[in-house]
Structure 1
Amino acid sequence: MNRLRWMIVVLTGLAFFSCASVPDSSSAGATTTQTAPVVTEAKTQGNAPASNQPAGVLVFPADAKEFKIELESMKLTDMPVIEDAKASEGKAVRVEKDSSLATIQVQFPAGSYTALVNEKAPSSSQDAFYVFLDERPYRVYPSDPPIGDWELTKRVPITFTVSEPKTITITIQPHSPAKKGETGMALDYIVFMKE
Structure 2
Amino acid sequence: MILRRGILVVLAALIVLSCAALGYQAVHRGGAPWSTDNPTQDARDVVMGQARTFMSTVNTYGPDLVEGQTMPTYRADVEKLVTAKFKADFEQNVPYAEATVIQSGLARTTKVDATGVGDLDLDRGRATVLVAGDLTNSFPDPKAPKDPSKRTSADAQPYRVEVTLVRQGGVWKVDDFTPVGAEAQQEAQQ
TM-score, reference length from structure 1:
0.28
Higher helix share: 2
Q: Which of the pair has the greater relative contact order for Cα pairs under 8 Å at 6+ separation?
A: 1
> Which structure carries more strand by proportion?
1
Task: Give the structure-2-normalised TM-score.
Answer: 0.29
Q: Which has the larger radius of gyration?
A: 2
